[in-house]
Amino acid sequence: QRSISRHLSCAGTIAANFGSEEQPPGGAETGSEDKIPKKRFFEVQEERREQAQRTVLIHCPNNINEKKFLKYLSQHGPINNHFFYESFGLYAVVEFCQKDSVDSLQNGTHIPKQSAEPAIPFKSRFLNLKLKNSSNQIPEQLYAQKTNQSPPSSKKLFELLNCAESIDDQLNTLLKAFQLTEENVRLRHLTCSLIEDIAAAYFPGCVIRPFGSSVNTFGKLGCDLDMFLDLNEVGKFDVHKNAGNFLMEFQMKTVPSERIATQKILCVIGECLDNFGPGCVGVQKILNARCPLVRFSHQASGFQCDLTANNSIALKSSELLYIYGSLDSRVRALVFCVRCWARAHSLTSSIPGAWITNFSLTVMVIFFLQRRSPPILPTLDSLKSLADAEDRCILDGHNCTFVRDLNKIKPSGNTETLELLLKEFFEYFGNFAFNKNSINIRQGREQNKPDSSPLYIQNPFEMSLNISKNVSQSQLQKFVDLARDSAWILEQEDKGQPSPSSKQPWGLATLLLPPGTVYTSLSKKRKKPVSEKVKGLLESIKSSTTDSSKGTRGK
């Protein structure tokens, strides 16, 4: 029980952060709890794609007058939506009502006059607005209002968590603070759409689709942007004339394998992004990876992008996670909490290596929720049994069929609280027989491990693959130790410790404190009572006023 005074004293802070300007961001995509039927994954993706095609990105002077800017742009047609954000300069995302307006704007846009450095005349939807008379001062209240695209700092997060009323409230607060905002979702789709324009120079009709945490409902502000080049759409709408005895085909180059084709395609797109892609920097071609990719930074949006090709199974697994994330409001809250917890204790990292990934953690939470009694989430096999003929999907010989209509899935009768689930999650995996069992969300039960990898999580579609093959024994042990410690800390909270004084971190805040403070593996040496440890931690929070958003960014 938390005091009402704590709640009242903090109410203002919460209103300021999640106040009226915070839109509930679009249905199941970001998990708002409305009763309207939830949209299918592909409907959401198609809507976002079409919206992005009517949108432009404009680099603006800092002292821009928002009203005049909008008036200037609306000469090309009505504007449906716009927002500003800061990322090494001021940027505007402007969505027109009609696509024609973008063409009109581009037609009225100049190629920059020869400056000190010669420019490559590539016309895109990423534009630069200049003031003809830049000395014109305008009052500050006319400046553009900026939206925030970054996750909260640790300091801010701890303030928010300490203001919450209960641990359940803390989990929901964490979710709201870290989930992708409506604007961030738009910016992600726009970035893909801009890259699509570049790829289309080689492959007209291609589609660049976002996948992974940008679209699977588990994305945190600051997460990378995974995208893939879908060439299956090329020629889909061509009208084939099969009359008579003739069939006409394109002459095409052939290569020895799909992998080589993917490498060749990504190689030229990578070159293209590097040479002509406005705002694309640090392009790296990682073509010998199991899944070849081009990695680059999209400077204006601030996204770290991973571009792959021929990767429709990953899109299907994003759709599956979207379904799991949309079925029950507890799922995302728990996944966000576990992801933040793992990041805070350096169990995950933005550098590839022997660490657990966010994707693996998400699948572990899903598996845990399938194991509750009654289950909170259905198994993949039961989602498959609900599928109809139209849901049938075979990709590269793998059966990826499952029901896609969320409204056909019966809600769970389980009413356990988030606090209980979090504690049980830590207890479950703190005592899981990782040495002999594997995790399998298809059947929703443990199975014998097929090989000696320390952590074995079966890929739901490519069933011979282990999605956590990279995880070392020592990283797994660290996860287990931290899970046990966290279960124990939550147990103590239950018993009323630490005392609920408004300044002391409690509940989730205690679990998310930086490493090296609370966690000296309590499971091995439980010497000090938690309250004493928490006092020490409070000191460390006070002294760390630096923004540690670094710790919550990335994977």
Q: Supply 228's token pair.
A: 């893939």
User: Residue 180 and residue 465: Cα distance in Å, rounded?
Assistant: 30
- 358's contact among ligand CTP, Mg ion, none, with CB below 5 to 8 A by partner kind, is ligand CTP
Residue 222 binds ligand CTP, judged by CB under 6 A: no
**Residue 197: Cβ-neighbour burial (10 angstroms; 0-12, 13-18, 19+):** middle
| Smaller CB separation from ligand CTP, 180 or 534 | 180
User: Residue 400 and residue 312: Cα distance in Å, rounded?
Assistant: 10
| Smaller CB separation from ligand CTP, 395 or 406 | 395
Residue 212 binds Mg ion, judged by CB under 5 A: yes
Smallest distance from the beta carbon of 208 to Mg ion, in angstroms?
15
Distances (CA, A) of 245 to 241, 242, 248, 435: 11, 8, 10, 63
Place of tokens 């990378």: 224
Residues 503-542 contacting ligand CTP, CB under 6 A: none
Residue 226 binds Mg ion, judged by CB under 5 A: yes
User: Residue 470 and residue 251: Cα distance in Å, rounded?
Assistant: 42
Residue 302 binds ligand CTP, judged by CB under 6 A: no
Smallest distance from the beta carbon of 227 to Mg ion, in angstroms?
10
Which residues, at least 6 apart from 520, have a Cβ–Cβ distance to it below 8 Å? none
Q: Which of 29, 224, 230, 485 binds ligand CTP (CB under 6 A)?
A: 224
Q: Supply 270's token pair.
A: 């990578």
Which residues, at least 6 apart from 333, have a Cβ–Cβ distance to it below 8 Å? 171, 172, 174, 175, 418
Place of tokens 């992005």: 52
Instruction: Give the range of 115-123, 219-227, 406-414, 415-423 binding ligand CTP by CB under 6 A.
Output: 219-227
* Helix spans in 392-503 (H): 418-430, 473-494
- 314's contact among Mg ion, ligand CTP, none, with CB below 5 to 8 A by partner kind, is ligand CTP
Q: DSSP assignment, residue 514?
A: P
Residue 318 binds ligand CTP, judged by CB under 6 A: yes
Residue 210 binds Mg ion, judged by CB under 5 A: no
Q: Which of 359, 368, 479, 488 binds ligand CTP (CB under 6 A)?
A: 359
Pairing of strands 398-399, 394-395: antiparallel
Per-residue mark of binding to ligand CTP, 463-502 (x: CB under 6 A): ----x-----------------------------------
User: Residue 115 and residue 153: Cα distance in Å, rounded?
Assistant: 40
Smallest distance from the beta carbon of 466 to ligand CTP, in angstroms?
8
Q: What is the CA radius of gyration of the chain?
A: 25
User: Residue 416 and residue 419: Cα distance in Å, rounded?
Assistant: 8
| Torsional sign, CA 471, 475, 481, 484 | negative
Are 295 and 284 in contact by the 8 Å Cβ rule? The answer is yes
Residues 162-191 contacting ligand CTP, CB under 6 A: none
Residue 224 binds Mg ion, judged by CB under 5 A: yes
Smallest distance from the beta carbon of 465 to ligand CTP, in angstroms?
7
Residue 212 binds ligand CTP, judged by CB under 6 A: yes
| Smaller CB separation from ligand CTP, 58 or 400 | 400
Q: Which of 58, 223, 476, 511 binds ligand CTP (CB under 6 A)?
A: 223
Smallest distance from the beta carbon of 383 to ligand CTP, in angstroms?
16
- 418's contact among ligand CTP, Mg ion, none, with CB below 5 to 8 A by partner kind, is none
Instruction: Give the range of 100-108, 136-144, 193-201, 310-318 binding ligand CTP by CB under 6 A.
Output: 310-318
**Chain residue whose CB lies nearest Mg ion:** 212
What residues are paired with 146 via a beta bridge?
84
User: Residue 386 and residue 327: Cα distance in Å, rounded?
Assistant: 15
Helix (H, G, I), strand (E, B) or coil at 51: helix
Smallest distance from the beta carbon of 214 to Mg ion, in angstroms?
7
Please give the residue ranges that form the binding site for ligand CTP (CB under 6 A): 211-213, 216, 219, 223-224, 226, 314, 317-318, 357-359, 467, 555
Please give the residue ranges that form the binding site for Mg ion (CB under 5 A): 212-213, 224, 226
